[in-house]
Amino acid sequence: MKIKSLQAREILDSRGNPTLEVEVIAESKTFLQRKSVKAWSGVPSGASTGDFEAVELRDGNKKRFAGKGVLQAVKNVNETIAPALLDIDVLEQKKIDQKMIELDGTDNKSRLGANAIVGVSMAVARVGAIASGKKLFEYIAELSENDGPILKVSRPFFNVINGGVHAGNKLAFQEFMISPNLGSFQENYRGAAEVYHALKEIIKENFGSGSTLVGDEGGFAPIDFYRESEALDILMQAIQKAGYEKRVDIALDVAASEFFVDGRYNLGFKTKEDDFRTTEEMMEHYLELVEKYPIISLEDPFEQNDFKSFAKLRKILQKKGVQVVGDDLTVSNPQRIKQAIKNKSCNALLLKINQIGTVSEAIEAFKLAQKHNWRVMVSHRSGETPDDFIADFAVGLGAEQIKSGATARGERTVKYNRLLALEKFLK
């Protein structure tokens, strides 16, 4: 079945910013009949982005969407990528992805735009699944040569308090996540939703109804929180109130590069009073938090080039059963991952398809991490669409973990609801 039509258009993401939607039609013809299949993909966008990510192409025209339009990326799909991919077998995912990489010709996909390329890559994978008569997760498993044990749903991490650049409050850390450990995904999902609502009630009681507004990823973003411990203390209260004490773990995405200034970390970067910490002081701070709270995962604790500090913290936390996750450090890029492996910087990878730009490269990143016994957490972005691709992607790969925001906002829950359906199907 060959690609017969490929078209992109500009839509808005969950933050109201422009992004792409890509539609692919594949067709097969015989003497007796003609068959066609169609699928689409929505392209996510990050607010907290690493310097080494594949480049998201924006128009820069300040008179239109404040410069954030993606008409050039749309044009690149329709006028450059589409003609080059017509009549290629839709099942040749690697060939198609490589063709787009060659068309772009840069190391970071800056000519055509990673947002243009990834939209095509995901849509092609979805059409390929339909054409081969498989569910998307089954097709991803085939593409990734996942012939391991029976597939299962990844363990979810739910972002219930937003900070950093994802929220207008004073918290420096970007994500405060909960991860219930209740057995099935269905029970974990329910437990997370109940903790989420208990948290809402506690925040409302303490700070008023105006404090229950949410951030980009659906987590609460009360302006009254200044420090991580304040958020974590109330989160612990919510877990207890919901009846899940000692059955819900906590994960933090620090996104430390966002507040790294002149060799130090400014925990007060969103307030009027600076609070600078050295690398050593941040190290001590993390160890104190891990001792006090049931934290099992720490993401991007240091700035994106500090492989050595990552490694030092990983060595300490590994003994405590806490994973250190690379995101801005590794940007889903096999070359950066190899550097982190060499330095023993992490034991877990955050995997974002749009961070590297194609489904094939994301699979390569997963397999590299898996080969070196890292866990993998498949991730959404702060700017999302109703596309649930990453749910099937995580299950098909066999990724141990996934995060897609809170148990609220449709662009978040669509991923979790898909996982709910996949668990039922797999059982």
| Catalytic residue list | 217, 352
| Of 289, 385, 314, 360, residue with least CA distance to 121 | 360
Question: Rounded to an integer, what distance in angstroms lies between the CA atom of residue 135 and that of residue 119?
Answer: 19
Question: Coil, strand, or helix at residue 245?
Answer: coil
**Tokens in use for 37?**
């299949």
**Please, are residues 53 and 171 in contact by the beta-carbon 8 Å criterion?**
no
Beta bridge partners of 375: 348
Question: Coil, strand, or helix at residue 107?
Answer: coil
Angle at 314 between CA 311 and CA 346, to 5 degrees: 70
**Please, are residues 188 and 180 in contact by the beta-carbon 8 Å criterion?**
yes
Question: Coil, strand, or helix at residue 32?
Answer: coil
Question: Rounded to an integer, what distance in angstroms lies between the CA atom of residue 218 and that of residue 404?
Answer: 10
**Tokens in use for 75?**
């044009």
Q: Whose structure tokens read 């099935």?
A: 184
Phi, psi angles (nearest 5°) of residue 204? -65, -45
Question: Rounded to an integer, what distance in angstroms lies between the CA atom of residue 374 and that of residue 351?
Answer: 12
In the 3-class helix/strand/coil scheme, how is 343-409 assigned residue by residue? HCCCCEEEECHHHHCCHHHHHHHHHHHHHCCCEEEEECCCECCCCCHHHHHHHHHCCCEEECCCCCC
Question: Rounded to an integer, what distance in angstroms lies between the CA atom of residue 214 and that of residue 307?
Answer: 33
Question: Rounded to an integer, what distance in angstroms lies between the CA atom of residue 405 and that of residue 416?
Answer: 9
- Strands (DSSP E) contained in 52-154 are none
Question: Rounded to an integer, what distance in angstroms lies between the CA atom of residue 96 and that of residue 3?
Answer: 10
Helix, strand and coil content of the chain, in percent to the nearest 5, comes to: 45, 20, 35
Q: State the angle between helix axes of 410-426 and 185-207 in degrees (0 to 180), rounded to the nearest 10.
A: 150
Question: Coil, strand, or helix at residue 175?
Answer: strand
